Amino acid sequence: MAAPSAAEQRWLRAARDFARRALPAPDGQEPAALEAVLRCLRSASGGTLPLGYSFISISDLQHQQHIPCCSHLSWSTNEFKEWSYQGQGALPMQSTLPRTYLILVGYLTDERQGNKEKLVDGCLYVKDNTGIIPCELLHFELEWLESLFVFPSWSYIPQTDQSAAGYLEILVDPVPVGAPKEVLHSIPITSPVSAEPLLTSRIPCKKRSKLTLAGKLTRLGPLLRVHHKTFFFLFLKCFASAACVPVLVQRPSQLVWHHVFQLGHRYTITGLIKSSLKKSGQTMFVTSVSSCLLPYCAEQVREQPLKSAWQGESTQSSFLETAEELSCSMELGAAEEMPRSTKESKIISYVGFVTKILNVQAGLFLLDNQVCLCLAYQPLLNFAQGLRPGACVELIDVHLLQKPLVSFPFTVLGACLSSMVVLKSFSRLSTPYQPLASSGNLCLQLLFRFNLGMPLYLWLVSLLEMFEERFSCFFGHHRLRSSTHRNPGAAEKFLVPLLQAMVPDSEEARDIYNEILAKIHQCPLQKYLTLNPPCQAPSLSTVCRVAEQRSWEGFSPSQLLSPLEAQHMGTQELNRRLAWSYCTLSAGSFQPQLILLGVLRVSSRTSSLQLQDKSSTLPCVISHKDGSPFAHTALIGSLLQVENYQLVVERFLKTDFPSWEHLENLKHVREKKTSVYVQFYFEDVQVIHAAEGQIQKGLRSGNSSSLRKKKDGSTTYRLETPEAKMLKLEDPKADTGRDENCQGGQSSTRTTSCVSHLFLVTQKEGLMSRNYQLPGEEAKEAQLKELQHSFQATVLWLGRPCLWGHPREIGNLPELEETGCNGEEGVTQQEALLLFMGKSLRWFPFLHVDGLYRFIVPCCSDLEVFDKLCFPPVPATFLNRPSCPLCLPVQDSWYLQHETWTSCLPERQLTAVSMLTGMDQRTSSIPEVLSSSFTGSLVSFCGEVMERTLCASPKNEKPPVTVGLPKQKGTLLSRDHSVKLSVSAAPGSPVVMDVYITATYLQHLRGLLPGAKILFQNLERKISRFHNVYCTYIASSCVSIVSLPASHLPFPSRGDAPDTILHVHHKQE
């Protein structure tokens, strides 16, 4: 024999190293094990060693191979190309598995190592000394168990999540390294036709008598796990008749039989015992500890008479443990009520290729690009191992459901517990493995809890997919799905009420044993009714697009003006009156009903509240039903659900109609745009994912606190980490990159010091461009001319700045306690003018007069931080008045926290605040403002908007400077336009005040609609030359929406048309 070459010697050295490290063998016997492996390799490779291949251990395969691959030991290049080409038939655009040149050697086993002991779960594994990996085989023999094999052809499929290991697909039968095991010879058996009467009669038998049964496999049930017990059923049929008997296999060592059984093959099972379900009385045969599974061979068996096998007493009492275990039906929740006009599903068999994984967690797979396979009603085949695009599956006795859900595009094949799903061939495509979540699977949990039929289940899946698609970039999939019994997750909070409204209460439960064993088949898939979803929750971009489309449907400019007033208008006035109109849409305007979902954000660019999802943002106006302003800063970053709301579409037209007679001729409409926002009450909001752990407590009763005194006498409080709050404020771009920021910010628990200061807002001014000269910028002449978008508020500091220690909320207001004790003695009445610019503009919608707020400066321990940033409003050479408040520019990193309203303070604290402010109620009534005896120039009043009209600005009004002011998206209003609001003190009251607001301010003033109740603050009162009193909105003015318009508008809607109904376009005058 020729000496081995240098290449062969190197290869053999590597093989010996592999054998010492990976092959399980007694000490000193690794060479013998290696020689046996080498003999197998020479046999598989035509007598030579495969020097082009290298050995790989299980551990190296799992940790080094991150993409799907395959290895074929004896194949030529042409054979591999032909194999790959054939695998692309169903999916020609998919790439095939790349070939690697690796040798896999290991033991086949059905055991894996648990925390303390070995576990048997019915799955197969390949193991060596370095590790263990799950595997799938199309053919398996019992004698292969715990034997050493060379695997000549296999694929490794890693998980989509590369942090977890994948599994093996064994493409051809493995080659045994050792000699095959011996098989039993002559065995006495009983045929199913003789055994069937035992299950239907009370034939006496010997205590613990056991039976050997032979027959053809007609049905194999899935592996089930109930109450921590794994088992499966099989049905054996007589060779010569229709007699068929069920057999239960539940012994851990026998679960591997599930991989051996093949439909239509003949088998012999020994050591069977008769048993029955305690609840239903259904009988079956159950395997015992001594039971064996053998292939049926007529020459090796002899039929035993029935009377010699079963004599004596019944075995029911001797097998009581099993009967009690099986009597526990799965309590899966309420049964779905079946309407009269239900459809009957057809039971068929089908063979097809998996072409797409629709949703592995929901058990939905697309076959042949046209049929949906649903495996949710039975456990997924080995956790969906092998069910990759390109794999071929055979479905036996599955339910065919046509159009179960109106919005679902595919016919559905549903597998119940009596169906069989058989993997016929593995995929040859390079598609990763998407594993089924064994725990925390919300789809399956809700399916079982409510015992859903297929239509409701598909609707549930579509809602959950939409929910995760829109919000996982904010909170992450785990955060949305994770829930406990007492603390349901966001997705569960959203879905459960919808299902409860659809599924009536019932005590019926899904009886899985009856579903498998009953002569007349019963399962949740038998009957169904096509479901038209009762509600929808589309993305915010879709909401805006549909609202814009609805606002123009059937729209005509002639709808906005009555003929009587239009015919008296000149061309300029006519086109101006058409320039701005609106329509509103409620949730009931959409069929199915539209539910709004969004994360509450606040934009520093537009200074507005927004609902946001991955697709877009939707500006919003939030009010309280009691008339108090919305100021819940703790809601920022929370996921909100709103079912009662008004979508407002502001329509802007640029037209050149020559006269009212041409209003039907739309060619005079030169340009049109829209702006969409939503308004709703806070009381109609459901927080389905809170940004803070204690948000609900904070919203209702203030924040809980603990404080302690430091040695130096200063006070330290416990507060949530300010950095965590800051990360939730802005409205970042809708992309997946923000996921990490959102999660990291909300879960931060790092302790940090920060300084806070409590203050009371006494005056708030509106948004506009102002010319601020900040300290240190005197020499910057360029900045003297630059206007900055800003707003300002006059506040009264309460107490002294405090140092906060730990990330926990506070509840009481210790500054007010100090004020109450020494209000007249030590606490100075210090006012400040807060300047909000840049990112601090985000606080505009939260800041309101008579509100108590707290500024929080993160990562700071300097109690003088507020004093150091203050500066006088004008140079001291021009004005030196001690009473003039100092200016404080609010920094971008500061966090604003709303505490309470002065009206909500206890009497003692309210007295202390009143003593410091010394201010009386400054809100007047409309009749008072209209009175000739009224002397004030700046007025505040509250009233309901009766009419909104676009007009030219009064001749004596000069539009404010707007340099650098961002223009509102979608608006076409000219800056010399004004809106006239006719405001009444009460509905139907003849006393009306006209308020003029120039178009420059309108882009920040949403919600100014007829029917809305508005609080106007610091308007300028004027008297016309005709001695009529009116008010104008100026730089120091501000408005707050006290109540929203009623959901119904003055004009009736166009009937109850399901898809086209709008609330009528409101008439603008």
Please, which residues have CB within 8 angstroms of residue 110's CB and are 6 or more apart in sequence? 120, 122, 123, 124, 125, 145, 255, 256
Tokens of 676: 């969409």
The span from the CA of 122 to the CA of 382, in Å, is: 9
How many CB atoms sit inside 10 A of residue 737's CB? Answer: 10
CA dist 790 and 781 (Å) reads 20
Mean pLDDT is highest, among 667-676, 687-696, 879-888, 1049-1058, for 667-676
Q: Mean pLDDT lowest for which of 11-25, 37-51, 827-841, 1043-1057?
A: 1043-1057
d(CA 641, CA 685): 6
pLDDT of residue 470: 94
Q: What is the pLDDT of residue 972?
A: 64
What integer is the mean pLDDT of 647-659?
Answer: 89
Q: How far apart are CA 977 and CA 691, in angstroms?
A: 41
Interatomic CA distance for residues 1002 and 978, integer angstroms? 9
| Alpha carbon distances (Å) from 560 to 584, 596, 661, 950 | 14, 29, 14, 12
Q: Cα–Cα distance between 715 and 711 in angstroms, integer?
A: 9
pLDDT band per the 50, 70, 90 thresholds, residue 712: very low
Cα(1052)–Cα(1056) distance, rounded to whole angstroms?
11
Cβ count near 131 (within 10 Å): 18
pLDDT of residue 151: 94
State the DSSP code for 534: S
Tell me the average pLDDT across 731-742: 40
Res 959: pLDDT: 55
Give the range with max mean pLDDT: 86-90, 812-816, 948-952, 1015-1019.
1015-1019
Cis peptide before 960 (omega within 30 of 0): no
Alpha-carbon span 12 to 191, nearest angstrom? 54
- pLDDT score of 174 more than 90: yes
- Contact status, residue 142 vs residue 293, Cβ threshold 8 Å: yes
pLDDT band of 739, cuts 50, 70, 90:
very low
pLDDT on residue 276: 84
Q: Average pLDDT, whole number, for the chain? A: 79
What is the band of 624 on the pLDDT scale with cuts at 50, 70, 90? very high
Specify whether the CB–CB gap between 629 and 693 falls below 8 A: no
Beta strands in 140-280 (DSSP E): 148-151, 153-157, 167-170, 175-176, 187-189, 211-220, 224-226, 229-237, 244-249, 266-276
pLDDT over 90 for what percent of the chain?
Answer: 38
pLDDT of residue 46: 77
Structure tokens at 234: 């099989």
Average of pLDDT values for 553-567? 83
pLDDT tens for 442-460 read 999 899 889 999 999 999 9
More confident residue, 802 or 1051: 802
Give me 881's structure tokens: 């008045």
Assign 1056 a pLDDT band (cuts: 50, 70, 90): very low
| Residue 43 clears pLDDT 60, i.e. is over it | yes
CA distances from 797 to 185, 726, 762, 885 (A): 97, 23, 10, 11
- Lowest pLDDT segment from 236-245, 515-524, 718-727, 904-913: 718-727
- pLDDT level of residue 134 (50, 70, 90 thresholds): very high
Residue with tokens 């094949």: 413
The backbone torsions φ and ψ at residue 540, rounded to the nearest 5 degrees and listed phi first, read -65, -30
* Token pair listed for 148: 């050493």
What confidence tens digit (pLDDT) does each residue in 957-999 have? 655 554 444 455 545 677 778 899 999 988 888 899 999 998 8
The pair phi, psi for residue 790, each rounded to 5°, is -165, 170
pLDDT of residue 92: 82
CB atoms within 10 A of CB 57: 20
Greater model confidence, 903 or 624: 624
* pLDDT surpasses 70 at 1032: yes
Q: Does the pLDDT at position 496 exceed 70?
A: yes
**745 has pLDDT over 50:** no
* 621 touches 1008 (CB < 8 A): no
Dump pLDDT digits (tens) for 334-371: 334 444 478 999 999 999 999 999 999 999 999 999 99
pLDDT at 873: 66
Write down the pLDDT at residue 816.
65
| pLDDT at res. 723 | 47
Region 604-625: mean pLDDT is 92
Residue 487 has what pLDDT? 81
Model pLDDT, residue 179:
67
- For position 824, what pLDDT does the model report? 47
238: confidence class by pLDDT, cuts 50, 70, 90: confident
Q: What is the mean pLDDT of residues 787-808?
A: 80
- pLDDT 10s digits, 889-916: 999 889 999 988 888 887 766 666 665 5
Is the Cα dihedral 589, 590, 595, 596 positive or negative? negative
Confidence label for 2 from pLDDT (cuts 50, 70 and 90): low
Give the rounded percent of residues in the chain with a pLDDT score beyond 70.
75
Give the whole-angstrom CA distance, residue 33 versus residue 335.
58
Q: Average pLDDT for residues 9-25, to the nearest whole number? A: 88
Across 478-487, 543-552, 586-595, the highest mean pLDDT is recorded for: 543-552
pTM value is 0.83
